[in-house]
Amino acid sequence: AQSVSQHNHHVILSEAASLELGCNYSYGGTVNLFWYVQYPGQHLQLLLKYFSGDPLVKGIKGFEAEFIKSKFSFNLRKPSVQWSDTAEYFCAVNVRDTDKLIFGTGTRLQVFP
């Protein structure tokens, strides 16, 4: 069965620090990859997605992610975080043509001013 692993459960950073959140998946076939963010008290929002093409994907609010097929990874990065980035971040995988998403356990990010 497919699974998604997020290595960092809780990350605490100061403003302007760089961020990298790990995401690995287990599936040998073709996948679509997503990062979702959930701000406190709000619903899930799509940060960025990878379907095909350039493995370096840029999303909203300065986030980017790199798909490394050989490592089954899709790590999320941001060069300089802000207090407003405090949220829960979820990596998700969609096995192509199955339509449903498999989510990782999530990473709670806290950014202090």
Partner 1 sequence: SAVISQKPSRDICQRGTSLTIQCQVDSQVTMMFWYRQQPGQSLTLIATANQGSEATYESGFVIDKFPISRPNLTFSTLTVSNMSPEDSSIYLCSVGKKGQVRGNTEAFFGQGTRLTVV
Contact 38, 46 (CB under 8 A): no
Window contacting partner 1 (CB under 8 A); options: 18-26, 31-39, 61-69, 78-86:
31-39
Q: How many residues bind partner 1 (CB under 8 A)?
A: 24
111 touches partner 1 (CB under 8 A) = no
- Written as one string, the DSSP assignment of 15-83 is TT--EEE--EEE-SS-EEEEEEEE-TTS--EEEEEE-SS-SEEE-GGG-EEEEEGGGTEEEEEESS--G
Looking at 64, 66, 73, 101, which residue binds partner 1 (CB under 8 A)? 101
Instruction: Name residues contacting partner 1, limited to 64-83 (CB under 8 A).
Output: none
Q: Is 59 in the site for partner 1 (CB under 8 A)?
A: no
